[in-house]
Chains A and B, each alone.
Chain A
């Protein structure tokens, strides 16, 4: 939890300026993540076989082992695994950003209202949050994904639905403490309308822990999305998606290890990068 000292009065003084003070591991995580983002953005230009990231197939080249022509080998229908891992980064990062944006906006908005308003409004919002938190997250996502048609959008909705309560709860607790501080009281005494107080004063000062939590959660979202795709409830062919690639390659592990190993490593590395970066941010901002 953020120490009181970290709750600086103005947002512009908060998180970004402090990134410079990150420890080495977090920095490495940041660099790794930057590389992954770069790879995702540049996939059409750096992938050795850009068509393989889409709907091309080359069945005659099925399951070729890693070589100079295919660094990561080929999959069951002859597609270049490296190209699909690169394009898969786009899918995974898109899902992560979309889920965090949706659940972040919903969670923070509800949380800050609950924290500032208190009383029955807080009770209602927090009880709803508790109901969502009472479900095991993956189970709820699974249930939603089964009901909806499997697709990337479904994955985003299903994960966001289980993710926002955390931000709501976190924001509510911080906002509640911010709401009792002197500068908020002053604003209220000066007659500033409540919505403006929330937007101008409470929200900016409640964001720091949420931002840290968001960066920590990026890895979790990617893992959950991979799990849903792995279970056949997420992205489907021919969308390149790491979880789906792992699912399709798993029975080949003992004979054609590359089809499952490289997308698996991509998931691990990305989740790792998010986690160490988030952890570093948390430590830095807590100082």
Chain B
């Protein structure tokens, strides 16, 4: 989740361009979009006949370990690794992936999955129930990233090579959890002779997905390239992309130029103006999908001036929510609380409204505001994210009227996050702006990752420490599985506490995913449960 969000932020900032240019010889062609030789034929071997070029604006890989990976690398990981199931946003259900079928006991505490037979890892070893059990158990044991998703699991049994049984502590939707974008990967735990984590860190993979790591050079523009895995269970008959390049391009305008020139296949995100232009361009297609991703402005509740809850509430009221959505021109919609529409926990009627007199009154009460002491606040946000920039511009202007000076620093994700996690509270920012999206189609992640107290600091960047709130958060998974009405109420109550009473966060908007990709890319469907991921194997390189 945490990595995801950062990845999302980065992706948002940088238009990620997948260049779909098929390249004879395996290189990205700076071409005019003519079909590449081999593009229409199924690649049958390891030769790179067709390359899909994805352009993210931030670095791709921060953690190669499928157990703990929790950031931008999801765009690559989902093409390298597979989970038991995959979430379908149309049916709102989990569908077969490595598991072909599953059943649950009447009490919801035993789940039996039937695994796809004959699947092999990239290491050549068979992916059977024992291997799947070992992978999930390792992920749970390491307990980093999104490993919390397996919290309900008591024990896992491999009955036979194709039967995997989960015994739970409390009822939980394991089919949905197994579809998570993080921590759900099935991988070969015996891939390395030595330290597995170190082996992963060197850029190796042990997945079963259609692609495997070809080259990885941190810091290079084309940071990562993947090649097809010959032994993939889905086979390579019919047209498929056989290579994927990830080309890091921080500037949206540059990404758009690359796409126009046919050098890249897919741009993760453009600004609203470029997106409109893309929609009117023949060689490019666009897709707009409501997302589960919202922007969070996290207020420092532990140190600095915002320790005073009145000042946090004043900043909440200074945000021009309506103006922001208007200026985003389709890239975002109004948020109602922390949970986006479409997920359990979504609470209507919580949309923010700008209230400058209210903000002024709160500031005055604390001794600030017009005529009072000047207030200086620091804010950090994602470098190059033009949507976040609109928020910063509007907020700076509004606060300026209230005698509050906002110093906003655009930073690279790693720098921004490190500063947020600084041990010395004096080094931390007053306001941390980042995107968040769930690990699986459920609202729990916003609460457990962002607002549950945690030491050392990870994504709880409002530094909220409230054992009452922690306790409420811990009740959510079981409530969701057993009593949805009670869960709805718990989510609503928590949002009242976190947003209104403690004023730890403001939610400026929920993002719409606006993708642009080469017209030659066929079969692209955005799946908001896997933010910014393109399942490249499912695409057809067209003429």
Contacts and interface: CB of A to CB of B under 8 A. Distances in A.
Interface of A: 54-60, 62-63, 76-78, 149-151, 232, 236-238, 248, 250-256
A18 B323 CA distance: 55
Interface string B390-431: 101110111011000011111000000000000000000000
Contacts of B406: 236-237
B274 A55 contact: no
Given A57-B323, A57-B393, A256 B273 contact: yes
Contacts of A77: 323, 327, 390, 393-394, 397
B403 to A, nearest CB: 11
Nearest to A244: B393
Contacts of B277: 254-255
A55 B404 CA distance: 11
Contacts, number: 84
Given A238-B393, A252-B271, A78 B407 contact: no
20 contacts: A54-B400, A55-B397, A57-B320, A57-B398, A59-B324, A62-B327, A63-B329, A76-B389, A77-B394, A150-B407, A150-B409, A237-B392, A237-B396, A237-B406, A237-B408, A248-B393, A251-B252, A251-B274, A252-B273, A254-B274
The secondary structure that dominates the A interface is loop
A53 to B, nearest CB: 11
A216 to B, nearest CB: 33
A238 B320 CA distance: 15
Nearest to B270: A251
Contacts of B396: 55, 236-238
A56 to B, nearest CB: 7
B274 A59 contact: no
Contacts of B470: none
Nearest to B274: A255
B394 A57 contact: yes
A232 to B, nearest CB: 5
Given A76-B327, A77-B393, A254-B277, 20 more contacts: A55-B398, A55-B401, A57-B320, A59-B320, A59-B322, A60-B323, A60-B326, A77-B394, A150-B409, A232-B409, A236-B396, A236-B406, A237-B397, A237-B406, A238-B400, A248-B389, A248-B393, A252-B273, A254-B253, A255-B276
B303 interface: no
A63 B271 CA distance: 13
A251 B326 contact: no
A76 B409 contact: no
A78 B398 CA distance: 14
Contacts of B274: 251, 254-255
Nearest to A250: B253
Contacts of A232: 409-410
Nearest to B325: A59
Contact of A56 (B329, B389, B397): B397
A250 B276 CA distance: 17
B432 interface: no
Contacts of A255: 273-274, 276-277
A226 to B, nearest CB: 17
Point out which of B256, B393, B407, B408 has the most chain A C-beta atoms below 10 A from its C-beta. Answer: B393
Contacts of A60: 323, 326
B360 interface: no
Q: Which 6 A-B pairs have CB atoms at the shortest separation, nearest pair first?
A: A59-B323, A255-B273, A237-B396, A55-B400, A59-B327, A238-B397
Contacts of A251: 251-253, 271, 274, 386
